[in-house]
Chain A
Amino acid sequence: MSKEHKSVNLRKITESKLFFPLLTLAIILLMDLIIIPNFFAIQVRDGNLYGSLIDILRNASPVMILAIGMTLVIATGGVDLSVGAVMAIAASVAAIMMNPVIIGLELPPDLMKFINDPYFTYSPLWQVITVTLIVTTICGLWNGLLVAYIRIQPMVATLILMIAGRGIAQLITNGVRIQIFYEPYAFLGQGWIILPFSLYLVAILYTTTWLFTRRTAIGLFIESVGINFRSSFYSGINEKRIKMLVYAFSGFCAGLAGLVASSNIKTSDAHNIGIGLELDAILAVIIGGTLMSGGRFSLLASLIGAVVIQAITTSMYAVGVPAFALQAIKGVFVIIMILLYSEQARNFVRKLSAPKGA
């Protein structure tokens, strides 16, 4: 009897959404333990924690933020390709609000103050953050409008903003890479309160989203829209509003990620901020086990997926793989993941964990 009980437990574990992502993460960390000395060392400086593991979490935070929004979008059966471009828009909006003189028509009298005083900004920080997030949420609403009301395929609808978004971001700053000198803004991405500040942002965002999706019916609505939007419509769910909501939320998340990313490098680089991150975010969601066709989702699994991606990246850098060549490894990794999640693989695991003779 006890044996059967045990195998049922094992089955419960392997069927869990968190199983595969955690397993992958464990394998990667195990390899790091063997290959890279001192990988798990954590130092304490000025009461703050530093180390490779912390670095992985910190560098993963933009993708984690994106992955939260992307999970909900993918759960409705859509996809948001524009997040990278929206990040660039966010960075441009934020930078130009703090530092508008760079493209101003006349030089301001307090130019030197601007460069010398790290606490000088044209708009207060709360305004910068609010306006940026509003702008990116509008970008998300635009995607939602195209998908929900004009019924363009999500991939195509968001592709439009993906193509035009970087152009718009450059237009906002007139093509200038604006330096951000304002210190408090840099805290978003580079600050530490024991742990990196961006991790707290992730935690707050995750908790709020979890509460909204799992403690209200919204999460259920999102899943039902993803499984079958027509029957959801007939059961009285306003399927269009749900879609608008998730795309707007994805835009919001992209804005936040853009703020963190731009404060990390202290510039608004419309060419490079968030480039390819839409793919990382989608990959994180896939690793998290949410199907691209929509339906059941797990936010926590997507977060772990984002950490997995960053863990691979960091380990590869530590081994000495050049930055660009990393993409090839990522590509192979995606293939492995796809194989791992295919029906055949699932059946195989199920067979292994099922009680003998059952």
Chain B
Amino acid sequence: MQNKLTLFLSRNSRFIPLTVTALLAFLAYIVGAMLYPGMRDIQVFLNIFRNNTYLMISAVGMTFVILSGGIDLSVSGIVALTTVATAALIRAGWNPWLVFLLMLLMGAALGAVMGSFVAFLKVQPFIATLAGMWFARGMCFFISDDAISISHPVYTLLGQTKILIPGLAEIAWAQGRAAPYVTIPVLVSLLMVALAIYIAHFTRFGRNVYAIGGNEQSARLMGLPVNATRVMVYTFSGFCSGLAGIALSIFVLSGHGLYANGYEMDVIASVVMGGTMLTGGSGYLFGTPFGVLILGITQTLIQFNGSLSSWWTKIVIGILTLIFIGVQSLLVARKGGRKARELSPQARRQRWIYGGAATLVVGVLAVVLIINGGRLNSAVNTPEAERCALKPYRQDLAASLVEGGAVMVYERNGGPDCIDELYAIYPDGRITGNDGTENVEKQVTSDELNQVMTGILERGWFTDELYNTWHTPCGQCYGYYLTVVNNGEQKTVKGVDGGTDAPAVYWQIISLVKGLVPKFTAAP
């Protein structure tokens, strides 16, 4: 019996990481749904896809690069550059579709240049793409220092169109709830995954990528176009980054050079968790979406928990990556052992011992951290004791400002620096702000103001789409209040970031308003 199992496992050992990933994603979601009833909502699950569209698209490109035995650190740079360039060109009045085409070409071109460096000049992939990342991120700031907001009908179409899911929608309607939906970028990302699976497993190019990643020397001797394939791989990754940048700009409706900072690590982590080996030549594209899913579920779990701070995401992702790489490393060890190469039984035993020791250390560390975290969390729930006391919201002042003629009153409170900002926007475009210590003022044209106001109304400010949500802010989170007055109607909506419970349109509206108001000198 045990023999049969061993045989089965060793025959299908290449599927082990993939299965582990899929099971883990499933398990994490089940645990989440049991702990937090809110997670049982199908929309929350779909939101994981919606919030990670760009991660999914980049991860597809990265999978090819890693399969070919390389690495692409430039994704975050290209994504940021795409958002800024898109925003700037659209602000300059270009047709968005043309801009999208240009951005895809730009991503592909940057990828091709890096690929040529890797393929022909034999530069280490990691160095060449690093240079690419610096270049792309630096270029963002040649275009604009500040965030540029985007408001264009095409963006509304792409970002707001709700695609109902047949079957689920009817059930939801029958129960009298809003139908779960996805957006167009989600469909695009899933389409990319399908396309990539086809390319990787059913075309000559895909097989070449696997061959090069497995052993470049033999691929060359077999007469495969090694250099051309390498260039193609990086070009495809650059293209995906461009597409991911567009998806991100649709999601946040703005462009800025600091977006997607450190995002290449998330991408690499999700590819690794998807079961692709970092040594190249082994893995399945099918696993990558599951890797992204694990990352998304982890984020959602931490957000739903509410008391866990955002840095836990990093630690959990780090530990998960370690575990997956450990599994891979042991699988390679088994392979090596079967071929009786280099590793004596003693060396293998030694490796298991050290591997066990490392796992033990991580385990103990994790337990200590979690216990420690629990203690700290209980402290967080009694805020005044050790962190700066959360300043109260100045809703009375806000109400009086509205009576004084303001069309919008925007209040942001909390965060790591315990700020307390209150802005009033008047119909003539005058904006005043106060953060308790400082007053700022700015004058915008009534056109700009009208644009923002239309954007807010288009997103259904006075409909049931926007409703109040609230949970205790974590150490890094901000609380928001926004009051909008239009045609005698007045409505205030509040929400805390760092949680998925507030409707996505709310954050789009907040970022619209954020783009309008002046900054305080002390603001982060």
Chain A positions within 8 Å of B, measured between CB atoms, are: 79, 102-107, 142, 145-146, 149-153, 155-157, 159-168, 170-171, 174-177, 270, 279, 282, 286, 292, 322, 324-332, 334-335, 338-339, 342
Contact = CB atoms under 8 A, between A and B. Distances in A.
B268 A159 contact: yes
A224 B126 CA distance: 23
B358 interface: yes
Contacts of A342: 121-122
A174 B312 CA distance: 11
Contacts of B272: 156
Given A152-B329, A164-B315, A327-B141, 6 more contacts: A103-B379, A145-B357, A174-B379, A282-B130, A325-B142, A328-B136
Q: Kindly name the residue among A145, A326, A327 whose own CB sees the greatest number of chain B CB atoms within 10 A.
A: A327
Contact of B138 (A145, A146, A150, A324): A324
Contacts of A142: 361
B313 A160 contact: no
Contacts of A102: 386
Given A156-B278, A292-B124, A279 B130 contact: yes
A151 B379 contact: no
16 contacts: A105-B385, A145-B357, A151-B329, A152-B325, A160-B321, A164-B315, A166-B314, A170-B311, A171-B369, A270-B311, A325-B139, A327-B137, A331-B133, A331-B135, A335-B131, A339-B121
B416 A150 contact: no
Contacts, number: 160
Interface string B308-319: 010111110111
A326 B138 CA distance: 6
A167 B314 contact: yes
B376 interface: yes
A322 B141 contact: yes
Interface of B (DSSP majority class): helix
Interface string B408-444: 0000000010000000000000000000000000000
A331 B351 contact: no
Contacts of B354: 145, 149-150
B145 interface: yes
A325 B137 CA distance: 7
B192 to A, nearest CB: 25
B318 A161 contact: yes
Contacts of A150: 326, 329, 351, 354-355, 358
Nearest to B350: A149
Given A152-B325, A160-B318, A279-B130, A170 B135 contact: no
Nearest to B417: A177
Contacts of A160: 318, 321-322, 325
A350 to B, nearest CB: 18
B387 interface: yes
For chain B, the bracket of interface size reads: 35 or more
B43 interface: no
Contacts of B319: 164
Nearest to B74: A331
Nearest to B123: A338
Interface of B: 71, 117, 121-124, 126-128, 130-142, 145, 257-258, 265, 268-269, 272, 278-279, 309, 311-315, 317-319, 321-322, 325-326, 329, 333, 350-351, 354-355, 357-358, 361, 369, 372-373, 376, 379-380, 385-387, 416, 475-476
Q: Kindly name the residue among B132, B314, B355 whose own CB sees the greatest number of chain A CB atoms within 10 A.
A: B314
Nearest to A162: B265
Nearest to B355: A150
Nearest to A230: B342
Contacts of B379: 103, 105, 174
Q: Which 10 A-B pairs have the closest CB atoms?
A: A328-B138, A164-B318, A331-B135, A167-B314, A331-B134, A327-B138, A334-B131, A324-B141, A149-B354, A170-B311
B127 A292 contact: yes
Contacts of A153: 278-279
Given A163-B265, A164-B319, A324 B140 contact: yes
Contacts of B318: 160-161, 163-165, 167
B82 to A, nearest CB: 15
A137 B373 CA distance: 24
A326 B358 CA distance: 40
Given A153-B278, A331-B131, A167 B138 contact: no
A104 B131 contact: no
B299 to A, nearest CB: 13
Nearest to B257: A324
Contacts of B313: 167
Given A164-B315, A164-B317, A174 B376 contact: yes
A153 B131 CA distance: 21
A146 B387 CA distance: 37
Contact of A328 (B117, B142, B369, B416): B142
Nearest to B373: A171
A325 B141 contact: yes
Contacts of B386: 102-105, 107
Contacts of B139: 325, 328
Given A145-B354, A149-B354, A167-B312, A330 B134 contact: yes
A181 B400 CA distance: 41
Given A171-B369, A338-B121, A155 B138 contact: no
Given A145-B358, A170-B309, A286-B127, A331 B476 contact: no
A175 B257 contact: no
Contacts of A167: 311-315, 318
A104 B375 CA distance: 11
A154 B269 CA distance: 15
Given A166-B311, A168-B315, A334 B134 contact: yes
A255 B102 CA distance: 45
Given A171-B373, A325-B142, A156 B325 contact: yes
A330 B269 CA distance: 26
Contacts of A282: 127, 130
A177 B416 contact: yes
A325 B312 contact: no
Contacts of B123: 338
A225 to B, nearest CB: 16
A159 B321 contact: yes
Contacts of A105: 379, 385-386
A335 B354 CA distance: 40
Contacts of B361: 142
A334 B127 contact: yes
Contact of A324 (B122, B137, B314, B416): B137
Contacts of B258: 324
A3 B317 CA distance: 63
Given A168-B315, A175-B476, A279-B130, A335 B321 contact: no
A292 B124 CA distance: 8
B314 A335 contact: no
Contacts of A157: 325
A159 B317 CA distance: 11
Q: Kindly name the residue among A151, A160, A170, A171 whose own CB sees the greatest number of chain B CB atoms within 10 A.
A: A160
A329 B369 CA distance: 41
B133 A338 contact: no
A138 B278 CA distance: 25
